[in-house]
Amino acid sequence: MSAHRFQPAEQQAVGAGHMADTDQGRCQVIDSQLSFSVSCIDACTECMLACEVCAEACLSMRTQEQVVRVCRDCNEICGLTATFLARDSALGTEMLDLCMIASERCAAVCEATGIEHCLLCAEVCRKCAEECRRAMTGLELIAA
């Protein structure tokens, strides 16, 4: 995905296809932000789906109420985080932090059950938490 598309047309056409140095730097920042966001959005979406599958499987067991609640919370937070990142919300960093917390909590609860589908969910949740952490770190570095 090229950041060039997100710039106004007059900035895209600088000097017969060459951008000014300031535009070049801004393009690199936008590319970096998109890279962190896309990777995190993918992880959040995967986690959202894994949590839904896990919650549904646990519902049928009728003994894993806590897992169902935690998975549903994580599902909703991951979905909302992906949406906030996709629209470059000013609350993106806060959502990343919340998503990281929810994913880590869900991973711990699912892992403790020892049930196969819960263990798979825990693995995906840990990956999501790591992607959120990486995106937060990357976005903080870019903002600095």
Is the residue at 2 inside a domain?
no
Contact present, 77 and 13 (Cβ < 8 Å): no
Query: How much is the pLDDT for 108?
Result: 98
Orientation angle between helical segments 21-61 and 92-113, nearest 10 degrees:
30
Is the pLDDT assigned to residue 116 strictly greater than 90? yes
Query: How much is the pLDDT for 63?
Result: 80
Is the residue at 17 inside a domain?
no
Tens of pLDDT, residues 43-56: 999 999 999 999 99
Task: Name the least confident of 17-21, 39-43, 113-117, 123-127.
Answer: 17-21
CATH number, domain containing residue 90: 1.20.1270.360
Is the residue at 46 inside a domain?
yes
pLDDT > 90 in the chain, percent: 60
- Residue 128's pLDDT band (boundaries 50, 70, 90)? very high
Is the pLDDT assigned to residue 122 strictly greater than 50? yes
Please state the pTM of the whole predicted model.
0.74
* Cβ-Cβ contacts under 8 Å for 90 (sequence gap 6 or more): none
Q: How many domains does the structure of the chain reveal?
A: 1
Domain that holds residue 38: 28-143
Is the pLDDT assigned to residue 19 strictly greater than 50? no
Contact present, 121 and 106 (Cβ < 8 Å): yes
- DSSP codes, the chain: --GGGGS-HHHHTTTTTPPPHHHHHHHHHHHHHHHHHHHHHHHHHHHHHHHHHHHHHHHHHTS-HHHHHHHHHHHHHHHHHHHHHHTT-TTHHHHHHHHHHHHHHHHHHHHHH--HHHHHHHHHHHHHHHHHHHHHHHHHHHH-
